[in-house]
Structure 1
Amino acid sequence: MKKISLVLAGLLCGVSLNAAVVATFKGGEVTTEELAPYLAQFQISDVNALPKEAKEGLIKDVVTKKLFAKEAEKLKLDKDDAFKSALNSAKEVLLAQQYLLKKFNDIKVSDAEITDYYNKHLNDFKVPEAVKTKHILVKTEAEARDIIKQLKGLKDDALVNKFSELAKTKSNDKGSGAMGGDLPYMSVNELVPEYFNAAKKLKKGEISEPVKSQFGFHVILGEDYKASRQGSLQEAKPFIENGLKNEKHKALVKQEADKLINGAGLQVK
């Protein structure tokens, strides 16, 4: 099953009846609807899912383009023949995209088709085992053991708070370090083997010995472990439905394109 193209994904994410304002500036505002095509490139629909710096950077980019456009209008560049030609071309592209979007939305996928696909592709919907951890990454084993020493004897909130404090000040993984060493649930395929194999053995609130990997030495705080399992049909349904719609859409687009081209009297000179 292939993914929907970014162009189509952008259109799908961009259609919103409840666009919210995420930023304002003198003479204008930025809405979630305007950000949707950009977010589609990262396969997300909520701007708040981005890190703070990335969210602010995206909004600044959008506002900058708006301000450039205002400056262009002041210079009457919107009256220029080259601009008018480009605008007409853009209009054709957008109309074609809206036509394709309508065709996509009109496509129906039955429950029987979804169930049949699920049963024939069970391995595609296996959820791998995963761990939820915090970690502190340092260069040497000695540094790791010093951190473990500072955590010795602590439990529950006291342990978590001290671990988070050390992660923020000591960890070489600045991304997770800024969040107190916190990592999301990560599967065996997303972590280096040394880390995953050590993490899966930890009980909630248990600290690992120094774990050496290609990145350095990790001190890991265990939080949770989930064994591998078969993803249910209900969980898989939206992904299967979207994929099957996309496959039907591709076939439909080709069929319609061939029909329209054949009836257009095209002559290439």
Structure 2
Amino acid sequence: MKKLSLVLAGIFCGLSLNAATIATYNGGEITSEEVAPYLAQLTQNQIQDISVLPKEAQEGLIKEILIKKLLAKEAIKNKYDQSKEFKTILASAKEILLAQEYLLQQFKSIKISDKEIKDYYNSHLQDFVLPEAVKTKHILVKSEKEAKDIIAQLKGLKGKKLDDKFSELAKTKSIDPSAKNNGGDLPYATASDLVPEYYNAAKKLKKGEISAPVKSNFGYHIIMTQDIKEQRQGSLEEARASIDNGLRNQKQQELLKAQTEKMLKDANLKMK
């Protein structure tokens, strides 16, 4: 959706009323509620459950949170929280968080009717055209010789045997770090998501077909195309959540503009 944006994404993203214990340490525990803001920042709000991350990444994030907890504990022990400077910073931070909470609650309270959503969709159909997308697996190596050696190991295999062998080689041979966990499996991607050499090669393949070595700035790719989705018009239901968020954001901006103008007028601000 091109013309609507959700500016509140990430504010208290993923906070849960029923926090689960993620890890324990001497004297305390770390909960899913505490992890959520870090996770939202780390993954740009794309992931809200730490269990989706690889084990190594989970451990790294938990250690980062624990270090901050332990440093904060040391700061309190040394009474740094009692200084005038810290109290000023804390008061300022509290105001920022309260302002964010006000915006969040205001956003939640705004209601968008089904008619408003339908009207927006019908008048902006072009914004909801879904481009052609390919679903692939790939193995990335440094040299063309390595790529050809891997292709030779896949020769003659079909169906599940080919798929399993491809995943195995991706985990052991690919220089793409994510391959160790996903076996080279990539989500549906459009031309704008992939380098041109990769995308153009992938869309020419039949389902289950392996490419010759494809050179890009990253190295040499061996690509297996799993599916191709043709460009199509996205449905109203597919667009509904995006439109609802966008229209609520639009309404909030209008409300906020009127509110802040009145607040500033009532505050009788005078610059010195």
TM-score, normalised via structure 2 length: 0.88
Q: Secondary structure at the match of 1:153?
A: coil
Query: Which residue among 125, 130, 147 is the counterpart of 1:127?
Result: 130
CA distance in 2, matches of 1:117, 1:85: 46
AA paired with 2:205? L
User: Runs of 5+ in structure 2 lacking a partner?
Assistant: none
Does the alignment pair 1:29 with 2:29?
A: yes
Distance 1:125 1:49, change over 3 A: farther
Contact 1:9 1:40 in 2 (8 A): no
Structure 1 residues 225 and 65, CA gap change in structure 2 (3 angstroms)? same
Deviations 1:118-158 (A, max 9, x none): 11221221222222221122333333222221111122332
> Does 2:203 align with 1:171?
no
Shift, 1:14, TM fit: 4.6
Tell me how far apart the structure 1 counterparts of residues 227 and 85 of structure 2 sit (CA, whole Å).
Answer: 60
Amino acid at match of 1:29: E
Aligned with 1:36: secondary structure? helix
Correspondence for 1:43 among 39, 45, 51: 45
Tell me which amino acid in the other structure corresponds to 1:90. Answer: A
SS at match of 2:9: helix
TM-aligned CA deviation for residue 55 of structure 1: 3.1
Matched, 1:74 2:82: no
How many angstroms does 1:262 deviate by? 0.9
Answering whether residue 211 of structure 2 is matched by residue 208 of structure 1, we say: yes
Counterparts of 2:197 and 2:80, CA distance in 1: 59
| Alpha-carbon separation, structure 1, partners of 2:128 and 2:89 | 45
Q: How does 1:105-254 map to 2 (within 5 A)?
A: 105-176=108-179, 178-254=181-257
Q: In the alignment, is the contact (CA less than 8 A) between 2:10 and 2:40 conserved in 1?
A: yes
Distance 1:135 1:125 in 2: 29
How many residues align? The count is 267
Distance 1:142 1:15 in 2: 49
Cα deviations across residues 201-257 of structure 1 (Å, max 9, x unaligned)? 333332222223333332212222221211111111111111111111122112111
SS at match of 1:188: coil
Summarize the Cα distance change of 1:15–1:143 in structure 2 as closer, same or farther, 3 Å threshold. Answer: closer
User: Quick check: 132-141 or 256-265, which moved more?
Assistant: 132-141
- The residue type paired with residue 247 of structure 1 is Q
Counterpart code for 2:49? D
| Distance (Å, rounded) in 2 between the aligned partners of 1:143 and 1:11 | 46
> What is the RMSD computed on CA atoms of the aligned residues?
2.2
Q: TM-score, normalised by structure 1?
A: 0.89
- In structure 2, the partner of 1:19 is 19
Task: Return the match for 1:65 from 23, 45, 68.
Answer: 68
Q: Counterpart amino acid of 1:104? A: F
Rounded Cα–Cα distance in structure 2 between residues aligned with 1:100 and 1:74: 35
Is 1:255 paired with 2:258?
yes
Query: Would the aligned equivalents of 1:11 and 1:101 in 2 still touch at CA under 8 Å?
Result: yes
SS at match of 1:174: coil
* 8 A contact 1:137–1:217 mirrored in 2: yes
Bigger drift between 132-141 and 233-242 goes to: 132-141
Q: Deviations over 1:77-104 (max 9, x none)?
A: 2222222222222222222222222211
Distance 1:211 1:87, change over 3 A: closer
